[in-house]
Amino acid sequence: MLSKFLVTNFIKDYNNISDEKVRNSYGYLGGIVGIIANILLFIVKIFVGFITNSIAVIADAVNNLSDAASSIITIIGFKLASKPADAEHPFGHGRIEYISGLIVSFMVMLVGFEFIKTSFKRIINPTNINFQLMPFLLLLVSILTKIWLSYFNKYIGKTIDSSALQASSLDALGDVFTSSCVALSLLASKWTSTPIDGYVGVLVSIFILYSGFSLTKETLDPILGEAPDPELVKKLIDGVCSYDYISGVHDIIIHNYGPGKAMASVHAEVPCDISVMKIHEIIDTAEKELSEKLNIFLVIHMDPINTNDEKVNSTKNELLKIIHNDFPIIKSIHDFRIVGDNDFKNLIFDIVIDYEHVLTPEIEEKLKKDLDNAIKTIHPHYNAIITIDRDFTSLK
């Protein structure tokens, strides 16, 4: 209820999330709420930490301070990522959002390393913990606050499809776990002199390190060029194939230039005997409509294929049967055609191999030779000219 209240009262035209300004407003709101909440939690926990002399509570407080700094960097990231395209960056500055997330993850890991050292010192040189009811109750309130903050970030992140804010939601949920452990260690100090505080501090620090490592991976993957979202790939394939005369697609490549900023290219199979002007009009329409529908910049290349030749179709079916029975490594084929006279023919086609299979030049040549020999067992006068393609999607 509070999340909806904040969105409806502080974001103008909040339903129009396809608008970049509205999307940025969601990001700013998430960042500002994160800053305010985490600074308040830092003040409460640092007070409790000094009152109780608990290193675990102080570590948890500093973790909240780093979360506030993370929110500041998130806001800066949204601001810089929204800069318009220019001559040096024709696809915009959207990847800055990933870089800001990477900075946040390094800050999180730095906090974890520092408090591992401090916690070990507390284990070696234990000190008494001063349990008091009011500071303990303040910790419980901070846990409830983090639960709400996790929900709020998840709500915002899902609304605008922001991996940065959804990661913040998971980070806040992780803080709920660590703060709960800290509260339990503080409570346990009433009945034991064992330096539980130091041990819990180590556990909290390890969890902080793990969170930082996970955030690093999540922000590095799109920068390095991760496989596109399978759901987007499926929508793209279904969308392109829904247009008249397009019978199939291949060579799908999607480049990510930041959240909501992607470029895709795809080869569409069309009949070879159709008017060039007619199929160009269909392709042009598909590019414009799908670019708007899927929020991508789409380029479609036309691949003419012979769909009416009975010999071509029967030979292709024979090839597909050979591949199905003897070459499971091959995911699909495309651009199949037959060139030559009656005495000698070339079968020209591409085969697609996914990245689960490691191919060296030697293995590739052997694969081509084995497939060519398998075809010759049926058609001795056919010569296979094969191109090996890689699948650039994660779609199975």
pLDDT in tens, 32-77: 998 999 999 999 888 888 887 777 678 778 878 878 877 887 788 7
Residue 355 in contact with residue 390, Cβ under 8 Å?
A: yes
pLDDT of residue 128: 67
pLDDT in tens, 334-388: 989 888 766 678 899 999 987 778 888 899 999 999 999 999 998 888 899 999 9
Q: Tokens representing 173?
A: 């949920």
What's the predicted TM-score (pTM) here? 0.68
**Is CATH 3.30.70.1350 the classification given to domain 309-396?**
yes
Residue ranges, CATH 1.20.1510.10, the chain: 2-224
Residues 6+ apart with CB under 8 A from 21: 82
- In CATH, the architecture of 2-224 is Up-down Bundle (1.20)
Helix, strand, coil percent values for the chain (each to nearest 5): 60, 15, 25
Residue ranges, CATH 3.30.70.1350, the chain: 227-306, 309-396
Residues 6+ apart with CB under 8 A from 123: 195, 198, 199, 202
Q: Which CATH superfamily is domain 227-306 in?
A: Cation efflux protein, cytoplasmic domain (3.30.70.1350)
Q: For residue 371, give Cα distances in angstroms to 293, 322, 361, 367, 389.
A: 41, 8, 15, 6, 15
Residues 6+ apart with CB under 8 A from 344: 381, 383
Residues in the chain, pLDDT under 70 = 56, 122, 126-129, 131, 163-164, 167, 174, 189, 193, 195, 197, 341-343, 394-396
∠ CA(29), CA(33), CA(37), 5° rounding?
175
